[in-house]
Structure 1
Amino acid sequence: MEYRITAELTLPAGMAELDGLQQQGAAALLSEWLDRVATVEGPEGVEITPYDHRLEVRSTGAVVELLVDAPALSFAENGAEALLQEILERTELLAEWRVGKCEVTVSDAELAEALEGGADEGVVSAGIGLPVEDVTAQRRRLLALSSRLRAFELDSFGPPLADPDARFLAAGALVDRASVLTEELIMDIMTLDEEAESLDKDEANWTADDSQGLFVLHDLPVRYRHHYDVIFAKKFLVASAVVYARLTGSPWLPPASTAESLALHILIENAKDLLVSFAAVDPDDVTAMFAVFESNAHSHHDHEWLYLEDLDSADPDDSSADPLGFLSRDAHSWFAPYPEAKDAPTHPYLIDDDD
C-alpha cells in the first residue's frame, strides 16, 4: 500500500542556524542518499520501498516527504524513520542531526482508501459516524501504544488479517483501555464513598445497586450489584491493576482468581468497542482476534458463568444448575485465588483477615 510520509530533521541542540550555503550543502547530501535508496528493511524485518521524495532544507533543519510502499501504516512510519536515521548516521556532516516527527500525511480521500480498502470518505464516516481524520488519529495513537503490550506476541491475536494494522491496533487498545478502566474504577469508588456518607448508621450498606452513575461496577454481573460496596470496589481496583500491569511485562501470568478474570474480561470488551467504534476495525476481525486472544490469556472461564441469564432462575440448591456454586457465594469470595494459583503472589489488600 502506498503512503506519503512527512518527516522533520532537526539540528542538534545548541547548533547555530544554517546559512544559505550550509542549507545548499545539506540539501545536496540528503538528495544524494535519497536518490540511492531502493528497498530497505525496517523494524521487525518488514521491507518498505521509497520511490519518490521531496526535500526542503531550512535554517533550522529539513522537511522530507517520502512516497513509500509498505504493508501497513505502522510499518511505513517506523520504516521511514529507520531509513532517515540511517542516512543521517552514514553522512558524517549530518551525523548529529535527529529525526523528529515522522508520520503519514495524506488527503482525506487517500486516508479513506487506506482505512477501508478503497472506500471513500463517506463510507467511513457512515460506518462509524466519525470523520476520517479522527479515525486515522485514533489508529495512529493505538499503533504507538501497541509496543507496550509485552506479555503477548502478535500471534496471540491469531493469523494476519486483511487489515495489516488490526493486530497492532488490538494490542494498543488493550493498553489504552487498561489505563481508562483504572481511572473509571477510581471514580466509581469516589462515587460510592460520597453517596454512602448520606446513610444513617442503621441503614444498609450502600452498593452499586443503589447508584446510577457508575462506570466499571455496572459492567460486572448485574445479579450481584447489591454486593458491590466500597470495600469490594477497592479490592476490584487492586485486582484489576495487578492484571493490567502484567500486560506490560513478560512472561504473561494469567488471572489467578475470578475477580482477576472479570477484570480481564471487562478490559477485552472495552478494547473491542474502542476498535469498532473509533478505529474503524471490522467487527468480524475484532471478534476473531479476541476469540484467539482470550484462549491464550485466560486459564479459567468461570467469569463467563456469572453473566448467564439462566442462572437468575436457577434453584440455589440445585448443584447441576449451578455447578460452580456461584449462587451460594458472596461476590467478595471472587478474590480468593484459584486452587492451582494459591501460591501465586497476592496483594496484601486482597487477603481477608480470616485468611
Structure 2
Amino acid sequence: MRRDDPSGDELERGAACRWNAGQDDPRTGRRRDAVDYAVTAELEPPAEVVELDALQQEGIAAVLDRHLALVEGVSGPGDADIDVLDYRITVHPTGASVVLALDAPSLLAAEDAAASVLDELIGESEVLTGWSVAHSEVRITEDEFNQQLAAAGDVRADDALEAAVEEALETSAEPAMDVEHWRARLTELAPQLRAFDASAFGVEPGEQTLPAGALIHAVRVVTDEIFYDELALAVNNATVADAVGLLVLEELPPCYDHRYDAFFARAFVLSSAAVAQRLTEQSWTLPRTVAEALALRLIINEARVVLEAAELMTWEASEPVFEVFAGRAFGDTNHDELYEVDLPLASDAEPETAEQVTKVEAELHARGLAFDQWFTPRDGNPASHPYLGSL
C-alpha cells in the first residue's frame, strides 16, 4: 500500500530497467536495439468539464490505472516491440498527467507509442468518453541519460536510469491537494464513522475528526486496491507469492502468500465490505472472522498513511491514536500472531521443513487462525454471504 499518496491518484509500481542497445534482453533473450524513455502525456477532459472534484479525480485515476496495468507493450515502426516498463498517474482538477517509461528504438517512436496507448485506452473506456491526449513528449532522452550516467561515475546503469526516470516522474506530477484541502475532505467524511463515539481514539473532544475521516477515506482506497490486485492475479493466473507490483494483498500475513489468488481476493473484498458497512452503523460489531479482522487492519493502516501523506499527522503521532481505536475495534480478536510465522505454510513444503509446517498449522488451527478458517464466523453461525460459504 502506498505511503506517499493519500488520494490513490498517483500510482507507481516497479522499477524501470535498461539494457544496452544490441545486448540481450534478460526477459526475452532477444537482441535489443532500444533505450528507455520517460514520456509525459497530458490528458484533457471534455470541454464541458470545468473542474474535476475529489471523487471524480479518484474515479479517473482508478480507471487509468486499471487499464494501464494490463498494457505490456505496443507495436512500433517496422513492427518493433515497444515495452511499457512502468507508469505513473496524477489526476488533478483540470485533467490527468501520465508518465510512461518505455523501451523504444527512438525518441519519436516512444512519443508515438505513448500517444497510441493512451488513445486506445480512451477509446475503450466509456468513463473517458470525450477525453483526449493533449500532448506527449519525452522527458528523458538517450543523450541526457548518458550524460547523467557519465556524471554518476561508478553508479550502475540501471540505478542511474531509475534515478533519472524518478526525477522525470516527480517533476511531471501536478501538485496534490494541500493540507487544508485534505483537512476539509476528512472533516467532511468523519460523520460517516457512526459506529464509534469520540472516545474511540483516546483524544480530546474535537480531535477525533481527522482520524475518523481518514478511516472512511481508507475504506475507499483499500477497496479499490483489492479490486486492482484481484484483476492482476486473475489475468496472470497467479498468487501473491508469484506476483509483483500488487497494492494491498501483499500486506496480508506472508506465511500464506501462496494461497492468495484471484478467488481469495474476491472473497476478501466481501469481508472488507462487511467491515466497511459496520463502521457506518449506529453500533459496532466486532470482526466475525479472521478475514474481517485482517481487512480492518488494512483499513487502519491506510488511514494512518492518509494522515501522514496529507501532513495532518505523523506516523509516530498516529500510532497511539489508532492503538486505542484498535483496542475498541478488535476486542479480543487475535490475528497478529499470523504475521509472526516466519515460514511459508505450503502443503508442498521441503522435507526439512514439512514437520515444522505441520506443527505450526496445527497450532494455528487450534486457535482458529489457520487459512481454511479465515472466512468461518467465530460464533459458529453460517457465513453471512453465500460466496464465502464455498471457500
Instruction: Please state which band the TM-score falls in when normalised by the shorter chain.
Output: 0.5 to 0.7
Is the contact made by 1:148 and 1:248 (CA closer than 8 Å) also made in structure 2? Answer: yes
Match of 1:190 in 2: 231
The answer as to 2:249 corresponding to 1:217 is yes
Is the contact made by 2:189 and 2:216 (CA closer than 8 Å) also made in structure 1? Answer: yes
The answer as to 2:199 corresponding to 1:159 is no
TM-score between both structures, scaled by the size of structure 1: 0.53
The answer as to 2:284 corresponding to 1:243 is no
> In the aligned structure 1, how far is the partner of 2:249 from the partner of 2:390?
21
| Structure 1 alignment gaps of length 5 or more | 1-129, 197-205
> In the aligned structure 1, how far is the partner of 2:327 from the partner of 2:254?
25
TM-score between both structures, scaled by the size of structure 2: 0.48
1:315 to 353, 356, 364: 356
CA deviations over 1:11-45 (Å, ceiling 9, x no partner)? xxxxxxxxxxxxxxxxxxxxxxxxxxxxxxxxxxx
Q: Relative to 1, partners in 2 of residues 1:139 and 1:331: Cα closer, same or farther, differing over 3 Å? A: same
Match of 2:69 in 1: none
Q: Per-residue deviation at 1:136?
A: 1.5
1:136 to 159, 180, 183: 180
CA deviations over 1:264-288 (Å, ceiling 9, x no partner)? 0111011112112213214443111
Matches within 5 A, 1:276-295: 276-295=308-327
Q: Relative to 1, partners in 2 of residues 1:317 and 1:183: Cα closer, same or farther, differing over 3 Å? A: closer
Match of 2:389 in 1: 351
Secondary structure in structure 1 of the residue aligned to 2:245: coil
Matches within 5 A, 1:254-273: 254-273=286-305
Q: Per-residue deviation at 1:229?
A: 1.1
Match of 2:329 in 1: 297
Q: Relative to 1, partners in 2 of residues 1:285 and 1:322: Cα closer, same or farther, differing over 3 Å? A: farther
The answer as to 2:356 corresponding to 1:324 is no
Is the contact made by 1:316 and 1:328 (CA closer than 8 Å) also made in structure 2? Answer: no
Q: Relative to 1, partners in 2 of residues 1:131 and 1:184: Cα closer, same or farther, differing over 3 Å? A: closer
Q: Per-residue deviation at 1:180?
A: 1.2
Aligned residue identity for 1:243: V
> In the aligned structure 1, how far is the partner of 2:209 from the partner of 2:322?
12
> In the aligned structure 1, how far is the partner of 2:369 from the partner of 2:194?
35
> In the aligned structure 2, how far is the partner of 1:322 from the partner of 1:226?
18
Q: Per-residue deviation at 1:183?
A: 1.1
Q: Relative to 1, partners in 2 of residues 1:284 and 1:210: Cα closer, same or farther, differing over 3 Å? A: closer
> In the aligned structure 1, how far is the partner of 2:273 from the partner of 2:245?
22
| Structure 2 alignment gaps of length 5 or more | 1-173, 345-352
Aligned residue identity for 1:331: F
Q: Per-residue deviation at 1:322?
A: 7.1
Aligned residue identity for 1:333: Q
Computing the radius of gyration over CA atoms, which structure comes out larger, 1 or 2?
Answer: 1
Aligned residue identity for 2:311: A
Secondary structure in structure 2 of the residue aligned to 1:260: helix
- Matched length: 209
> In the aligned structure 1, how far is the partner of 2:224 from the partner of 2:177?
27
> In the aligned structure 1, how far is the partner of 2:366 from the partner of 2:248?
21
Matches within 5 A, 1:120-135: 134-135=178-179
RMSD, aligned α-carbons: 3.0
Q: Per-residue deviation at 1:309?
A: 4.8
Q: Per-residue deviation at 1:190?
A: 1.2
2:239 to 183, 207, 210: 207
> In the aligned structure 2, how far is the partner of 1:234 from the partner of 1:150?
27
Is the contact made by 1:227 and 1:330 (CA closer than 8 Å) also made in structure 2? Answer: no
Q: Per-residue deviation at 1:311?
A: 6.3
> In the aligned structure 1, how far is the partner of 2:342 from the partner of 2:246?
25
Aligned residue identity for 1:221: P
Q: Quick check: which one's helix share is greater?
A: 1
Match of 1:232 in 2: 264
